[in-house]
Amino acid sequence: MATMDVIPDGDRMTVTLWGELDLGSRRLLPDLYDILTLSGSGIDLRLDAVGFCDCSGVNTLLDLRLRALDQGKSLTVRSPGRPVGRVLELTGTKELFTDSGPHALPAFPAQADGDRELRTEVAQLRRAMQTRPTIDLARGILMASFGLSPEAAWSVLVRTSQNTNLKLHHLARDLVGTVRGSTLPERVQQQLAAAVAGAGANTPDDAAAGPSGGPARDGD
């Protein structure tokens, strides 16, 4: 699990991370958001002590960058280290974390071993970046309709997707379509109801009724 150390540096904050940047690194985001808010112009990351990084870790960095942009600040990676640098190169996101100063990110050529698996992750990341707005909207609908936490709403989407053999972004698209008056197929309603009930929210009958309280609605 990743840990961090923070050192103020003028109007910026220097954050050094250790450990692994994977799905678990998202737990650092609340603290990183606070650090970003306290900074004058943004955060400089030192990641050379990170021993592993996958696309989930890059997603964490992208989320932090978006928050920085919202605040009119910047997020730069001053020393990526080989694991992070390699993934940034392959995902095409390296330039997003590079400044024009003398600390520009060094190039880390991809290694032959394991490139196929990593390139698959890259393709998944790019697809996720395209479909994420719809998925986030569907998760918000579930949260508002059934009183779910963000984590529980995500679990409901994933479980329903698995049990109906629907791609997650297709399920999210259909769920968002219910707001426009369409109806979910009955089998999807049933699996959604079971997933909502399993998440400890409303009853299966309530879930089958659909987010608006009326009949559940179908996607495009």
Cβ–Cβ under 8 Å, residues 146 and 182: no
Retrieve residue 112's tokens.
């032959």
For residue 39, what pLDDT is reported? 94
**14-56 tens-digit pLDDT:** 999 999 888 888 899 999 999 999 999 999 999 999 999 888 8
Q: Which helix (H) or strand (E) holds 175?
A: helix 168-177
130 vs 135, more confident: 135
Please list, in sequence order, all residues whose beta carbon lies within 8 angstroms of the beta carbon of residue 144, skipping any fewer than 6 positions away: 211
For residue 124, what pLDDT is reported? 58
For residue 208, what pLDDT is reported? 39
For residue 100, what pLDDT is reported? 46
| Mean pLDDT, residues 159-186 taken together | 88
CA 103 to chain centre: 27
Phi-psi region of 5 (alpha: psi -120 to 50; beta: other; left: phi over 0): beta
Q: How confident is the model at residue 191 (pLDDT cuts 50, 70, 90)?
A: very high
Cβ–Cβ under 8 Å, residues 55 and 24: no
Alpha-carbon Rg for the chain, nearest whole angstrom, is 20
For residue 129, what pLDDT is reported? 57
Neighbours of 65 (CB within 10 A): 21
For residue 127, what pLDDT is reported? 59
**77-102 tens-digit pLDDT:** 999 888 898 888 888 888 899 864 44
For residue 121, what pLDDT is reported? 59
Checking if the pLDDT of 117 tops 70, the result is no
Mean pLDDT estimate for the chain: 79
Rounded to 5 degrees, what are φ and ψ at 41?
-130, -5
Statement: the pTM of the whole predicted model exceeds 0.85: no
